[in-house]
Amino acid sequence: MILFAEILRVIASVLLILSSGFYLRHLEKTKKQRKLASLELIMYITIQLAFILIAIGLLIDVFFR
């Protein structure tokens, strides 16, 4: 049962990362066309920060495991 929960967690994480990437791409295209609204700008910065933290976490996991 714990293995099933871990698999679901990984699938959810992958889906969140993929959807965030697509939304970030959409925001970058929108940013080229017009100025982003305040909520869009907050999401843009938050997603970029999240990707940086994920990358740092993966590097720590790979090199210090």
DSSP string, 6-48: HHHHHHHHHHHHHHHHHHHHHHHHHHHHSPPPHHHHHHHHHHH
50 near 20, Cβ under 8 Å?
A: yes
Give me the helix-helix angle, 38-63 and 2-33, nearest 10°: 130
Torsion (CA) 59, 14, 51, 33 in degrees, nearest 10: 150
pLDDT of residue 61: 87
pLDDT of residue 21: 95
- pTM of the full structure: 0.81
pLDDT tens-digit map of 13-39: 999 999 999 999 999 999 999 999 999
